[in-house]
Amino acid sequence: MARAGKAKKARVTTGIEFGDHFIRVATVLVRSGRASIRALSQASVESGRPGVLEDLKANRREALRTALSRHPKDLGTIVVGIPRESVVSRVVSLPSTDNREVREMLFFDAERFLPFPAEEAEISYRTLEQIGATESRVLMVAARRGDLYEVLDDLDSVGIHPDRIDVDVHGCSYGVLRDGVPEEEPFALLHIDVKDSTLGLVVNGQIRFSRTLGAGTDNLNNGLTSANPDWANFTRVLKRTLAGFSHEEFGTPPKRIVLCGPGSEIRGIATELVEEFDLPVTIPPAMNPGKASEPVCAFGKAIGLALEEAEQERHINLIPEEIYQKYETIHRKRFLVNATLLLVINLALAGTIAGHGIWHKTQVLKILDKKILDIQPDLKDIDKIAEQLEVIDANIDRENTAFRVLKNLFEITPDIRIKIEQLTFEKSDSVEMSFDTFELRDVNDYQTILADSEYFVRAEVSGTTTRDWPADKWKYPRTIKANGMKAFLRSNKAISK
């Protein structure tokens, strides 16, 4: 989830469009409400062998490395925009205006809106509007956590630790709104890139629906007439998508089309769109590129992400919380190393000031060598300590999950027909039980009872044995012993249903 916004002062922010066809990096400076471009750089992603995902991943990482090599090192706050097709985006209505209740309700019912299990998802949202005192409409965005880790690994390989991950089209939306497009009327945002395009519906200054389209300038440069099948198909898909947006539960017909991206410079495209859709077409003015030599129109998404980070306080953020903990460990390690090096430099300077003779310099060098040797073991221990901290953080039960589950277990199970012999907790991941029952059906009943607990995902029984009981003492002549029953906790996100 997004963290609290920072004070609005002079800020350097960088937006990275992490696309499948291009990597674009834009760094901007915002001071006293005025924004200026510091640097722009980009690199194309080679497609590689058709259908080979590994080629795309390797080429995208290489393009990222190339784009950053052409860019200044001072990036400031970093925001990464991933492609729209990499996420699930939904507008959801919830019966509350309390931010805490809205979050709880959304995350509780998130699986209803996702095409994959909720435990595999990283979810973020922002409130679009509140209706009276009883309803909130929010934009929910979710991505597979595994996909996000791949993006973070690519960024980490070039030394980039982003402060936020958003969706690329959200940056484009903020950029055109900042350029003066009226917020009071709904409009269609059409960003035409080289290989593909993105279409969104913006209502009350917030993007609600969006979709990636297949065609880009490579297709449309062949002509904006019906004789070009790419143009005919492009406009047909646009009309169908806008009609779909208009008929969504929280949708509405757009009053105009706002055109941006490299495709906005195709000669005559605005006129042709007016004729096709009978809507006015607006092309917002591009920012002053400053000293940058790259075409500003291609960087709408990256620039918009950077500007939104500098000027707004509530964002979509898809970085998993545990990644921030990893970054903090890295920063602590880096701080300790830098502090040690600073101490060594200060010692060297102190020795130099004491005397400039050859003897003094020799003594200073000896001291310097000795200090470097002294800190080497400590530097090696830093890596070991960092690994131990990661292990502790991964296994510690911060919320006493095991005890809460045990309490819940005894509250919901009957006092008769079950004899629990042993309970074993395994790193708060599972509870292993051995117990006796009088009949086989009691084993099944017991598993049904466990299924009613909010903490359990599933139960497994590795085996059962039977033994005789004294017929004169017990009503049932035989008993069933369930060996190694495991009840898996829902709190462990690594265990699926």
Read off the tokens for 109. 């019912």
| First and final C-alpha spacing in the chain | 24
CB 186 within 8 A of CB 253: yes
How many residues in total does the chain contain? 497
pLDDT in the model for residue 136: 92
Q: Where are the alpha helices (DSSP H) in 208-299?
A: 217-220, 229-247, 269-277
Q: Which residue has the higher pLDDT, 351 or 375?
A: 375
pLDDT digits (tens, 9 = 90+) for 304-318: 999 999 998 878 999
Phi first, then psi: what are they for 282, rounded to 5°? -115, 135
Is the predicted pLDDT of residue 147 greater than 80, yes or no?
yes
DSSP 273-307: HHHHH-S-EE-PPPPP-TT--S-GGGGHHHHHHHH
Span 108-130, average pLDDT: 89
Residue 460 host element (H or E): strand 456-468
Burial-class residue 68 by CB neighbours within 10 Å (0-12, 13-18, 19+): buried
Fold of 183-283: Nucleotidyltransferase; domain 5 (3.30.420)
pLDDT in the model for residue 321: 81
The alpha carbon of 403 is separated from its chain's Cα centroid by a whole number of angstroms, namely 32
Position 53 confidence tier, pLDDT thresholds 50, 70, 90: confident
**% of the chain exceeding 70 in pLDDT:** 66
pLDDT digits (tens, 9 = 90+) for 246-287: 999 899 999 999 999 999 999 999 999 999 999 999 999 888
pLDDT in the model for residue 441: 67
Question: What CATH number should be reported for the domain whose range is 1-180+285-319?
Answer: 3.30.420.380
Say how far apart CA 443 and CA 205 lie, in whole Å.
58
Read off the tokens for 107. 């995350």
Say how far apart CA 214 and CA 73 lie, in whole Å.
34
CB 417 within 8 A of CB 475: no
Say how far apart CA 74 and CA 465 lie, in whole Å.
68
Residue 481 host element (H or E): strand 478-489
Domain ranges of the chain: 1-180+285-319, 183-283, 321-395, 401-489
Pick from 258, 305, 292: nearest CA to 277: 258
Rounded to 5°, the CA angle 473-475-480 comes to: 100
Pick from 171, 99, 106: nearest CA to 142: 106
Say how far apart CA 92 and CA 144 lie, in whole Å.
19
Say how far apart CA 225 and CA 272 lie, in whole Å.
8
Phi first, then psi: what are they for 375, rounded to 5°? -90, -10
pLDDT in the model for residue 1: 37
Q: Do domains 1-180+285-319 and 401-489 have the same CATH topology?
A: no
Is the predicted pLDDT of residue 24 greater than 90, yes or no?
yes
Say how far apart CA 263 and CA 283 lie, in whole Å.
11
pLDDT digits (tens, 9 = 90+) for 434-493: 766 666 667 777 777 777 776 666 667 666 666 665 555 545 445 566 666 666 655 544
pLDDT in the model for residue 179: 74
pLDDT in the model for residue 195: 93
- Which of these CATH numbers, 3.40.50.1000, 3.30.1360.100, 2.40.50.100, 3.30.2310.20, describes 401-489? 3.30.1360.100
Span 402-408, average pLDDT: 65
